[in-house]
Amino acid sequence: MRPKIKDEYRYPYRRISNDSTHVFHFTDANDTLLSNKIELDENSVDMHQSYLSKFLKEYDTKSFLIVRNDSIIFEWYAPGTSDTTLFTTFSEAKAIITTLIGCAIDDGFIKSVDQSVRDFIPELDSSFEKVKIKHLLNHTSGIKFSDDYFSPFAENAQYYYCNDLWTKILELKMAYPPGTKFQYQSANPVLLARILERSTHQTVSHYLQEKIWKPLGMESPARWNLDNADSLGIEKAFCCVDVIARDMAKLGRLYLHKGNWNGKQIVSEKWVDYVTSYTESEGAKLYYSNNIGKSPMLYNAYYFVGMYGQYTYVYPKKNLIIVRFSDKNFYQPFFWRAVMLQLLDQL
């Protein structure tokens, strides 16, 4: 059984409250003609040529949002959904974990990305001593772990469906020296979340609420799915934050403005520059590091990305933020990457 966008209703969750007295709203400047102005070329995305509105329907998009200069210039929802519908981020949640690590460093809870994971989780085997926070962020930790949402036998599938993540964490073993090669693993953000819990002395959801959700004036409460309904349940930090599309765009806006929100520095500019930069340091992957995807260098754009083509795409050159959610079992990472670049060119 594969993960579905409606899984947020099947599993226990921790509520992330917003401040209803302090809500930020994008200006509504919806261009009703935009959907027929943009053409998507089959040569780039291996499909027949189609206008944006038709394309969104054909490829099972549930919500699609384009923000430019703080104005919503295009907003589209599939039948049965709206601007108040919660959608699951899937692996976009990993970028949220990255943001919170930056906040924790700013707050002095974490010294730097060079701290060892065992400074916070000493229960791990001594072989984890050389695994640093930066290795977890870049998926170069060297942990033995298989990651394939489409295989019921993969370990990340076990993480997704299990009700005791802490036991799974303590079973982790090392496969190769940290900082030597990239291997995308859902275990890495789970360890980062545990580091956040131990260092901040609060749940990851509460820290997100206080550091991001309330200060950014989110329109709606969010939810983070847990491994079980117990009060000590652990957030599925590799996925499963449930948000409305407009609030996800606000996370993009935070990055667009280098961590500053209307004059208040939410996360340091230094951190935003660090996690959105291209790097191949210590085995990192050039176009995906610190849980954030990077566009071709010509664009100097970046994005949060999740399974089924969940995207929050930020293009600083044009002050653009693009948000997409879907629940279709159609997963071709290069497909939506190419689509986004076409959009950047035409907007």
Q: How many domains does the chain have?
A: 1
pLDDT reported for residue 161: 57
Per-residue pLDDT of the chain in tens (347 residues, 90 and over written 9): 455 555 555 679 999 999 999 999 999 987 766 766 787 765 554 444 467 888 888 888 999 999 999 999 999 999 999 999 999 999 999 999 999 999 999 999 999 999 999 999 999 999 999 999 999 999 999 999 866 655 444 555 555 656 688 888 899 999 999 999 999 999 999 999 999 999 999 999 999 999 999 999 999 999 999 988 888 899 999 898 999 999 999 999 999 999 999 999 999 999 999 999 999 999 999 999 999 999 999 999 999 999 888 999 999 999 999 999 998 655 566 788 888 999 999 99
Instruction: Calculate helix-pair angle for 269-276, 93-106, nearest 10 degrees.
Output: 140
Q: How far apart are CA 190 and CA 237, in angstroms?
A: 5
Q: What is the CATH number of the domain that holds 28?
A: 3.40.710.10
For the chain, the distance separating the N- and C-terminal CA atoms, rounded to the nearest angstrom, is: 38
pLDDT at residue number 170: 93
> Maximum CA pair distance of the chain?
60
Domain that holds residue 11: 5-346
User: ∠ at Cα 184 (178, 189), nearest 5°?
Assistant: 80
pLDDT value at residue 42: 52
- Contacts for 33-38: CB closer than 8 Å, 24+ residues apart: 34/66, 34/73, 34/74, 35/74, 35/76, 37/346, 38/342, 38/343, 38/346, 38/347
**pTM of the full structure:** 0.92
CB under 8 Å to 218, separation ≥6 — which residues?
18, 19, 23, 24, 247, 250
Helix (H) or strand (E) run with residue 243 in it: strand 241-243
The reported pLDDT for the residue numbered 147 is 61
Looking at residue 165, what is its pLDDT?
85
**E strand or H helix at 50:** strand 50-51
- Smallest Cα–Cα separation from 299: which of 342, 255, 251? 342
117 φ/ψ angles, rounded to the nearest 5 degrees: -60, -30
CB 145 within 8 A of CB 187: yes
Residue found under tokens 């949640």: 93
